[in-house]
Chain A
Amino acid sequence: MQLIPHTTGNLTRTLGLLTASLFAATGLHAQDISPAASHSAYGPSPDKASATQDTASDLGMTRIDTAILFYQEAGGRVKATEPVTSVTFNGTDGEVLSVKLTADALTGATPNGATPWKNTQTFITPSKGQGVQTTTTSASGHSKTVTLPGTDIVASQYTAEPHTLPLDYGFRDTRYAVDVGYTTPIDPVTRLSVGGSFSSEQDFKSASVSFGAARDLFDKNTTVSAGINLEYDKSDPYFGTPQPLSIMSGLTKGGSQSKGVFNAVLGVTQVMNRNWLAQVNYSLGAANGYQTDPYRILSVVNGQTGAPVRYLYEARPKSRIRQSLYVGNKIAFGPTVTDLSARLYHDSWGITSVTAEIAERVPITSWLYVEPHARYYSQSKANFFHDFLIDGQALPEFASSDSRLAKFTATTVGLKLGLKLTTNGELYMRADSYSQTGDRHPATAIGDLQSENLFTGIKATSVMVGYTFAFE
């Protein structure tokens, strides 16, 4: 850098005179205020909506199942379109090879983690870097590129309207995933399986391998199984990984992060009687590494008024141990089949949850069935969940305002319709409505935050249409 000394030149002197007359002429202007028009943003990769599949096993046949899932959250939030195709090759001696390909196209907005407020809030994030061509949606009008004060660092800025949940608009992300599984019998009562999967999106890659074994006992009335899964994830956020609990800024952040996940499952499947099959699974998982949402922030608010003072990036513990116990039943009453299941879950982040689910398949004719289903889910909050932090108080080691870590209950109701078009071909359609409810006005809310809705959970609907058929 060169510093230039100071003596006034020609052009500068003339300019000075011109400028002086400019301000003398224009003077001060009336306070006619126009509404601001600013806004924008980029967003994280939101929750994935996963397709459910129904694959039957047909000895000696190849089955192809193709479906497309549409998922939409209320309030203009995440929207996903997910085509899935799977091919399952069934050998005549019990070998099964399956390959599943999935693509997700996600668009929309997710809550950025800040609390709503009575005034417009402005958020700043780094702008897309050079070379990243596919990720921003400034055409949507939400995001606005700005230059940081005193610098020529380009950043992105967006705002949240008064009394609305701050949403991060922005990334259209596309995820591609491939899953491969192979199962082979090694003797008449024992099967081994191996599998692998890889998924990739712009800012996240995941790879996993799994091994499993199952053995039939007591005349095939009982099956015991065990499996392990190893997963490695790499998170490469668009603008780098922010320092946990640092102030939200437009500066590019640190490098990529990773985590490893180990999961083990033990299960027993038991034929209870001619009409009843029961299954019990216990699973234990341990994840280690980066589990923070790099795009998510929390509001630090004034202790009296609740007004936002600053925004900090969230922080989650590096380690998470999960345990769950699942009990499932398949019961045939006459022509109908009932699926009844319950799951208990607890993890080291302090979340305990229960799930209960029922589905009943009712044949209407030989070629048409309907399957209504309902699911209830309830969880306690993670011990580092905070709707917001209070200015002047000591920062906790970990903090997140992610609604998925909050206390909430969720219900799903849905209906599936299946239409057997040929002996081996079936067209199916499934529609679901999902709704989370939680504490909109927690007792901890202070000042004007008491009148804001602090629960950021979602309501979503999804529709899936698919066709499956098998051939020799």
Chain B
Amino acid sequence: MNKPLKNNICEEKLFERLYKKHSKNLHDFLYYKFGEQLNPQDKVQEAFIKLWQNCSKIEPPKAKSFLFTTANNLMLNAVAHQKVVLKYNKLPHKHSTNVSPEFVLQEKEYNEKLQNALANLTEAQRVAFLMNRVEGKRFKEIAALLDISTKAVEKRIYGALKKLRKDIEEL
């Protein structure tokens, strides 16, 4: 990775490498920020096509922020801020036979509360928080991804946690 890359995104090899490096993060970022109904996957593809079309104008180090900004704008163009819906997966419990119906109901209620509370977070908080909790990314990685300081990431995530706990208690 330390080898200086050929300075042209139009190189298909480099482009592919960029895709493999950023596409998932970009997708997760869009999903956690905007929810699922706007098809983050399409926006990822669109953003990469835009990157390809402008490949000669963008230096490789700038590619990541170009992708994130472009995808974000594509999203914003598509949405008049609909309410964010994050789907939770109803994974069948492994030991579902051992679980009482009460527990299942409680679990379901809790998940719904959590869902609402997540929707109430600010976009910035939600993205950082879910990248951390769900994707297991460390503060430093998130900071690099969002081009903000580690301290800011910490603040967002901790703020999100506090807000979530408060919301869940109240609901």
Chains A and B are bound partners: no
